[in-house]
Amino acid sequence: MQMPEPDGGVLARKARIVALLRAILPPDAVIDAPEELRAYECDALTAYRCPPLAAVLPRSTAEVSAVLRTCWEEGVPVVPRGSGTSLAGGAMPTADSVILGVARMNAVLETDYENRFIRVQSGRTNLSVSGAVEAEGFFYAPDPSSQLACAIAGNIAMNSGGAHCLKYGVTTNNLLGVTLVQMDGTVVTLGGPWGEPCGIDLLGVVCGSEGQLGVVTEACLRILPKPEGARPVLVGFNSNEVAGACVADVIRAGILPVAIEFMDRPCIRATEAFAKAGYPDCEALLIIEVEGSEAEIGEQLSRIRQIAMAHDPVEFREAADEDQARRIWLGRKSAFGAMGQINDYMCLDGTIPVSSLPHVLKRIGEMSRDFGLDVGNVFHAGDGNMHPLILFDANKPGDLERCEAFGAEILKLCVEVGGCLTGEHGVGIEKRDLMAVQFTGPDMEAQMRVKDVFDPKWLLNPAKVFPLAASAPRRTG
Amino acid sequence: MRPKTETELAEAIAGTRTPLLLRGGGTRTLGHAVGEVLETGGLAGVELYEPGALTLVVRAGTPLAEVERVLAAERQRLAFEPPDLRGLLGREGVSTIGGVLAANASGPRRVQVGAARDAALGVRFVDGAGTVVKNGGRVMKNVTGYDLVKLLAGSRGTLGMLTEVGFKVQALPEAEATLVIEGLDREAGLAALRRALGSPFDVSGAARHSGRSLIRVEGMAGSVAYRLGRLRALLGGEVTVAEGAASAALWREVRDVVPFHGKPGEVWRIATLPTLAAEVVARLEGQALWDWGGGLVWLLAEHGRGAEVAATLAGRGHATLVRGEGGPVFPPEAPEVAALVAGLKAKFDPRGILNRGMMG
């Protein structure tokens, strides 16, 4: 993975830049010792590492503004960082950049149950937002699997999804407003708790812009009343086609499960060996979860059973109690860990039209043989968001490169069948150079123009999202 | 001008020497833009419809009624319930699906499923230089690159002209029913809406007008009956229930602001906090229709109330003058926001020819 050459001028001015940052922040908020900077050398895409020039941990919007203004005046790139859980390298620094971490800004600023919103500082973790409103019977819906650790700032930057977005939508559908600091230090308020945009929807384009338009310091989030209950069923099939047809029938019937998860045979076998959840040994497995009162859950599950039975499943298992529900989810939730037991893995997240599922899985199987690397598939089936896990050995020379080449082929296939490169992890550096597969030059140009407006000097997270060659004239301009 | 293809439309924009007034059917156009009319009506038809994937991609000039007919044939619909504003605005013409997204036009179900912007999966548009741009796509989860779909939704043709739009659609529910609560004063009637929306009973509409509070639930028959019962117990009051077609008729009235049709006065569309909804109306002394649990206030008032509306809201929401004369239609933006919007317009429409002056 290529990164731009660091700016020698910036590297040479490290002492001056650190001194300027120390002048505007408390002493403990500026990190420049090499051993401490190692903590910021990568995010969850650990294959690539580079310590930053410095890291800062501001505690307020005013401090963030002062940092950005200083870096803007000095021409220093800034890489915003939430909790560093990006799988796409969204928070990966360059040697000439300052990491701006929002982790210390984690306060709840306001909860309003009657108007159904919460306002938080952006370093607050996803799960602790729900935690703050749980006692009143509310929750924050987007639930990325890293929700224990990941920060709202990163969720907004990547427009994070989760297993339950089939019903509740992703971050952008639950984000009401932000306080955004632009690279030159300007503080802007976008949106508000009333939700309805006024004029051009700037909030909509900020969400998912991967920290390239500004640093979000505060967020106003929609909270929802918790459903009375939830219950999963597990359905096993001996063919991916039939499992896919069952998903389509459930959706067409007007039942809106909160989640429909799909696992293929390699993944089922790996998780069985690891977690012993008691899954049937079959070609494809669905976990379908519905919500509501006991009676409503019963009504939906009986309809789902009716639909599934028409497809002659190997097994249809309803959870009779909490423990059985937990066991149904156990294998799915252990899938990544199980694959990790076997070997290193790379997880992709391209999205495909649900109807292409059998074709795509067949092609991935063929590619797996061609590349000589095993792959297991977990899949948010209701919305077509795939998660192929490619196994490789990081200690074996050439394996990572082979794995990346395989991954790129899978993502190209996703685009070819009408889907996209990334459904929830973001482009970051990982998929940056594949953008031209999905977009024409003018398509990317239109997106880069937005950054030109928010960050004319291209100092915020500049080496991400767009192919380096495409962004070069702007970055080096 | 009414081009027949996207290429013709791009050429028309690239080649124009005068400002253009872009529109679908002109049924919900607001603001004071002037220019040569350029319509999308020639770009009509379904590109792709996969009911099993809840995905619809259509050309922007396709009539909304046609989209609704195509969906209904498969027992599906647009979840966000786009309003028909012809009666309110005294317009004729055919509403187009592109116009719906360009205005981010969303009805009562927004409280449950989000706005037009939230259902939009992808767009194709032509910018002010005549360049064709694609963003988003046809799949439900897509974070590849910036979300220009949101930027274009609600931009009313000031950044580009939509030529194709993709939506996530919704299956028609098996049943729907509405609790009609009478005998509550304004405060209590609006509080009932908030209590319903704060309950776990998945309310898909919460509105009040003509002295009645309306609360809708939709879904499977057993579930609708269960939730109606629970909401009834929760809210109290003099309650009747409207089911099926009778319920649907009540929500068409709310969606299209029927109580204001043909009545004189100016009409404001105010987005605010539900808890401020009563206060805003009390201070402004007009006839009101509240939707979205009070988060949307339609206000019919005497002419020339702009300054009072702004003073009453005092930054706690925003108001658009959808019918009336004089004064700005859209509220002024904070200077730093206005600078960003002006910057985007300069980039996407460097000659300043697309719906110039429409949004201030």
Q: In the prediction, which pLDDT does B360 show?
A: 65
Q: Which of A116, A196, A380 sits opposite B271 (nearest CB)?
A: A196
Number of A–B residue contacts, CB under 8 Å: 254
B282 Cβ under 8 Å from any chain A Cβ: no
Q: How far is CA A429 from CA A164, A421, A461, B206, in A?
A: 27, 13, 10, 44
A186, A117: one domain: yes
Using the 3D structure, point to which of A387, A407, A428 is the last residue of a domain: A428
Looking at 3.30.70, 3.90.198, 2.60.40, 1.10.10, the CATH number of the domain B258-323 comes to 3.30.70
- What is the per-residue pLDDT across A281-293, written as a single tens digit (0 to 9) for each? 999 999 999 999 9
CA distance A28 to chain B (A): 32
Distance (Å, whole) CA B290 – CA B207: 5
B279 Cβ under 8 Å from any chain A Cβ: no
Lowest-confidence range among A247-251, A439-443, B205-209?
A: A247-251
Within the 33-72 window of chain B, which residues sit less than 8 Å (CB to CB) from chain A? Answer: 50-55
Locate CATH 3.30.70.2190 in chain B.
Answer: 175-255
pLDDT at A256 over 90: no
Using the 3D structure, point to which of A278, A311, A338 is the last residue of a domain: A338
Q: Is A445 contained in some domain? A: no
Q: Which of A116, A187, A201 sits opposite B197 (nearest CB)?
A: A116
Q: Is A234 contained in some domain? A: yes
Cβ <8 Å between A254 and B174:
yes
Q: What residue in B sits closest to A245 (Cα-Cα)?
A: B52
- What is the per-residue pLDDT across A66-109, written as a single tens digit (0 to 9) for each? 999 999 999 999 999 999 999 999 999 999 999 999 999 999 99
Q: Does pTM surpass 0.90? A: yes
Split into its structural domains, chain A has a count of 4
A76, A162: one domain: no
A309, A352: one domain: no
Cβ-Cβ contacts under 8 Å, A296 against chain B: 219-220, 222-223, 226-227
Q: Is A395 contained in some domain? A: yes
Query: For chain B, what's the residue count?
Result: 360
- Span B175-255: which CATH code? 3.30.70.2190
Q: What is the 3-state secondary structure (H, E, C) of A256-313?
A: CCCEEEEEEHHHHHHHHHHHCCCCCCCCEEEEEEEECCHHHHHHHHHHHHHHHHCCCC
Cβ-Cβ contacts under 8 Å, B271 against chain A: 194-196, 198
Contact A2, A468 (CB under 8 A): yes
* Low-confidence spans in chain B with pLDDT less than 50: none
CA distance A121 to chain B (A): 20
Q: Is A195 contained in some domain? A: yes
- Range list of β-strands (E), chain B: 20-23, 36-39, 46-50, 55-59, 76-77, 120-126, 132-136, 161-168, 170-171, 175-182, 205-209, 212-219, 238-243, 266-272, 287-291, 296-301, 317-323
ipTM of the complex: 0.97
Distance (Å, whole) CA B38 – CA B21: 6
Q: Is A372 contained in some domain? A: yes
Within the 33-72 window of chain A, which residues sit less than 8 Å (CB to CB) from chain B? Answer: none
Q: What residue in B sits closest to A296 (Cα-Cα)?
A: B223
Q: In the prediction, which pLDDT does A358 show?
A: 86
A 10 A CB-CB count for B207 gives 27
Cβ <8 Å between A355 and B50:
yes
CA proximity to A352, closest of A467, A258, A246, A262: A262
CA distance A32 to chain B (A): 32
| H/E stretch holding A470 | helix A468-476
Cβ-Cβ contacts under 8 Å, A229 against chain B: none
A355, A417: one domain: yes
Q: In the prediction, which pLDDT does B237 show?
A: 83
A 10 A CB-CB count for A350 gives 31
Contact A146, A424 (CB under 8 A): no
A230 Cβ under 8 Å from any chain B Cβ: no
Task: Give the domain range for residue A70.
Answer: 8-103
Mean pLDDT throughout A375-380? 91
Q: In which band, very low, low, confident or very high, does the pLDDT at A353 lie, cut at 50, 70 and 90?
A: very high
- CATH code at A98? 3.30.43.10
For the residues of B135-150, what is the DSSP string, one character each? Answer: EE-SSS---SS--HHH
- What is the per-residue pLDDT across A113-154, written as a single tens digit (0 to 9) for each? 999 999 999 999 999 999 999 999 999 999 998 999 999 999
Cβ <8 Å between A299 and B153:
no
Cβ-Cβ contacts under 8 Å, B343 against chain A: 452-453
Distance (Å, whole) CA B301 – CA B306: 10
- CATH code at A253? 3.30.70.3450
Q: Is A137 contained in some domain? A: yes
A281 Cβ under 8 Å from any chain B Cβ: no
Using the 3D structure, point to which of A225, A259, A284 is the last residue of a domain: A225
Cβ-Cβ contacts under 8 Å, B150 against chain A: 172, 201, 203-205, 207
Distance (Å, whole) CA A299 – CA A304: 9
Q: Is A473 contained in some domain? A: no
- CATH code at A195? 3.30.465.10
Find which of A160, A179, A194, A349 to mutate to test the B interface (most B CBs within 10 Å of its CB). A194
A99, A165: one domain: no
Coil, strand, or helix at residue B222? helix
Contact B178, B242 (CB under 8 A): yes
- Span B6-171: which CATH code? 3.30.465.10
Within the 350-369 window of chain A, which residues sit less than 8 Å (CB to CB) from chain B? Answer: 351-355
Find which of B139, B162, B226 to mutate to test the A interface (most A CBs within 10 Å of its CB). B139
Q: In which band, very low, low, confident or very high, does the pLDDT at A296 lie, cut at 50, 70 and 90?
A: very high
Locate CATH 3.30.465.10 in chain B.
Answer: 6-171
Cβ-Cβ contacts under 8 Å, B104 against chain A: 197, 201
A394, A298: one domain: no
A38, A74: one domain: yes
CA proximity to A452, closest of A187, A183, A215: A183
Q: What residue in B sits closest to A170 (Cα-Cα)?
A: B141
Torsion sign, CA atoms A10, A11, A17, A21 = positive
A175 Cβ under 8 Å from any chain B Cβ: no
